[in-house]
Copies of this chain bind each other. A is one copy, B any other.
Amino acid sequence: MKTTYRTKQQDELMAYLQQHPGAHHTAAQIKEYFARQDKNIGTATIYRQLERFVEDGKVRKYLLETGDSACYEYVGGQEGCTAHFHLKCEKCGRLIHMNCEELKRLETHLLEDHGFEWTIGKTVFYGVCDKCRK
């Protein structure tokens, strides 16, 4: 799905996500937020826009708790985020950006030994971060 026209809802959704970097939101939470501002945005619109943002690499989608609704988080659209790796803490929700030789090694290994061309930008490592383990 590609955007042809730029709309007010689009801008407001993106603005909201950008203003809360590092936070993750469900579609319902986003709808509620705008409702509190007396701005109604249809649920379908929220899902459709989020899907586009994800395609563009500006937003990342997570499924944290099994069965719960999906979470969305602004990660910016720059190459910066496609070249490094993301760890998501399942306890505090923090998204950790990591640039590490070990992971680059893995990328090479997957490609050369398994023929798998890894899309780093879409992959999220789930786990528990150092702070939450203490």
Q: Hey, which chain B residues are within 8 Å of A129, CB to CB?
A: 115-116
A13 interface hit (Cβ, 8 Å): no
Q: How far is the CB of A97 from chain B (nearest CB, A)?
A: 12
Complex Cα gap A87–B61 (Å): 17
B123 and A128 contact, CB distance less than 8 A: no
A130 and B106 contact, CB distance less than 8 A: no
Cβ-closest chain B residue relative to A103: B106
Q: Hey, which chain B residues are within 8 Å of A98, CB to CB?
A: 114
Number of A residues with CB within 8 Å of any CB on chain B: 36
Complex Cα gap A45–B21 (Å): 41
A35 interface hit (Cβ, 8 Å): no
Q: Hey, which chain B residues are within 8 Å of A62, CB to CB?
A: 65
Question: How does the 8 Å CB contact mask read for A107-131 relative to B, with 1 for contact and 0 for none?
Answer: 0011001111111001111111110
A109 and B114 contact, CB distance less than 8 A: no
